[in-house]
């Protein structure tokens, strides 16, 4: 593809595919269908023949569209097939960090999975007619820092590992593992490893050769790359991306200011509390000292004026 000339907007030539709006577009636009089938097959680690998008508004050409109830809500292999929700989490959720073991993103995954599974319609009254539900969370940070796995899959099991059922599955994919995966020959990468490298590095120029080799091997990723390139050439979409980035920067700035103000208020409150504690502690001593001085002055006056 001929290299295109960008306006001097300061943005990367290729927009990052892990950004929420871009991620949804490269997998849900009509021309991206083969990419969606390939990606879902890699996420679920099983062959997938067809994927149908549902409950998302019409395929999102407006990549500035904010996250809906689900990023990508789809049915696999026909109307009666299993259902899957795919979410991109480019940065930690508000309030999440390694200090609290990223509890919010884990509980959000469970909430999404339960909501998806319990809201099946037209399945009759038999529980055996409910289809399997999958919740896939692609995270561009380490949710499980004590583990070294690219993919973590969770089902309902006992502490001994005995499975209750495989009706619901939560899947976490660690995109930061791409830094290790790119050290492997492309021919040795699994499908999910290749998609991980794509989402992590498709917008970075120094990885162009690796991305080109991956796209020549996997048609689904080639389709996603073409869609990503088309989106990146749109002046309108680049402006929207810039607006989203500015909004995120403003939010980070506000949070930093709030933290600084809270810290200063805490320091001032601490100083005032310290003064009060000191006054409460030393006031009796000062009063006692004043009383002794007054008594001594009285004795001196008595001696001077018998």
Boundaries of every domain in the chain: 20-233
What pLDDT, on the 0 to 100 scale, is given for residue 119? 85
- Which pLDDT band, with edges at 50, 70 and 90, does 264 fall under? confident
What pLDDT, on the 0 to 100 scale, is given for residue 249? 65
- Which pLDDT band, with edges at 50, 70 and 90, does 9 fall under? low
What pLDDT, on the 0 to 100 scale, is given for residue 273? 77
| Highest mean pLDDT, choosing among 218-222, 231-235, 293-297, 301-305 | 218-222
Query: Taking residues 284-290, what's their average pLDDT?
Result: 68
For residue range 10-23, what is the model confidence (pLDDT) as tens digits? 677 889 999 888 99
What pLDDT, on the 0 to 100 scale, is given for residue 117? 92
Which region, left, alpha or beta, applies to residue 242 given φ > 0 means left and ψ of -120 to 50 means alpha? alpha
Q: Are 41 and 74 in contact (CB under 8 A)?
A: no
What pLDDT, on the 0 to 100 scale, is given for residue 234? 81
In the block, residue with structure tokens 């299993």: 82
In terms of pLDDT, which residue wins out, 160 or 240?
A: 160
What pLDDT, on the 0 to 100 scale, is given for residue 240? 73
Exposed, middle or buried: residue 39 (CB in 10 Å: 0-12, 13-18, 19+)? buried
Q: Count Cβ atoms below 10 Å from residue 208 Cβ, excluding itself.
A: 13
For residue range 101-145, what is the model confidence (pLDDT) as tens digits? 899 999 999 999 999 998 886 666 688 888 999 999 999 999 998
Cα–Cα distance for residue pair 152/173, rounded to 1 Å: 7
Q: At what angle do helices 20-28 and 235-304 cross, to 10 degrees?
A: 160
Cα–Cα distance for residue pair 198/202, rounded to 1 Å: 5
Query: Taking residues 184-190, what's their average pLDDT?
Result: 96
| Highest mean pLDDT, choosing among 14-23, 90-99, 238-247 | 14-23
Q: Would you say residue 63 has pLDDT above 90?
A: no
Q: Are 18 and 175 in contact (CB under 8 A)?
A: yes
In terms of pLDDT, which residue wins out, 234 or 202?
A: 202
What pLDDT, on the 0 to 100 scale, is given for residue 67? 41
For residue range 249-259, what is the model confidence (pLDDT) as tens digits? 665 656 567 66
């Amino acid at each position: 593809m001929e290299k295109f000339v960008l306006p001097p907007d300061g943005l990367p030539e290729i927009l990052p595919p892990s950004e929420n709006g871009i991620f949804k577009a490269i997998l849900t636009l009509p021309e991206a269908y083969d990419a969606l089938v390939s990606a879902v097959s890699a996420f679920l680690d099983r062959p997938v023949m067809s994927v149908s998008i549902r409950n998302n508004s019409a395929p999102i050409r407006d990549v500035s569209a904010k996250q809906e109830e689900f990023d990508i809500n789809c049915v696999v292999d026909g109307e009666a097939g299993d259902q899957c929700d795919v979410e991109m989490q480019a940065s930690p959720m508000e309030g999440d960090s390694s200090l609290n073991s990223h509890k919010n993103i884990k509980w959000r995954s469970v909430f999404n999975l339960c909501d998806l599974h319990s809201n099946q319609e037209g399945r009759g009254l038999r529980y055996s007619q409910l289809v399997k539900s999958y919740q896939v969370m692609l995270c561009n940070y380490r949710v499980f820092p004590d583990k070294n796995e690219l993919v973590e899959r969770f089902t309902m099991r006992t502490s001994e590992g005995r499975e209750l059922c495989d009706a619901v599955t939560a899947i976490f994919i660690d995109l930061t593992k791409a830094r290790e995966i790119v050290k492997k020959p492309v021919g040795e990468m699994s499908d999910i490893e290749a998609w991980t490298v794509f989402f992590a590095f498709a917008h970075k120029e120094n990885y162009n050769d690796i991305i080109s080799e991956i796209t020549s091997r996997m048609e689904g990723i080639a389709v996603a790359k073409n869609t990503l390139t088309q989106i990146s050439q749109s002046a309108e979409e680049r402006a929207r991306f810039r607006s989203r980035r500015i909004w995120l920067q403003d939010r980070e700035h506000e949070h930093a200011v709030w933290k600084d103000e809270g810290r200063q208020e805490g320091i001032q409150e601490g100083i005032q509390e310290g003064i009060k504690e000191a006054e409460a502690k030393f006031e009796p001593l000062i009063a006692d000292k004043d009383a002794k001085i007054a008594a001594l002055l009285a004795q001196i006056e008595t001696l001077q004026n018998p």
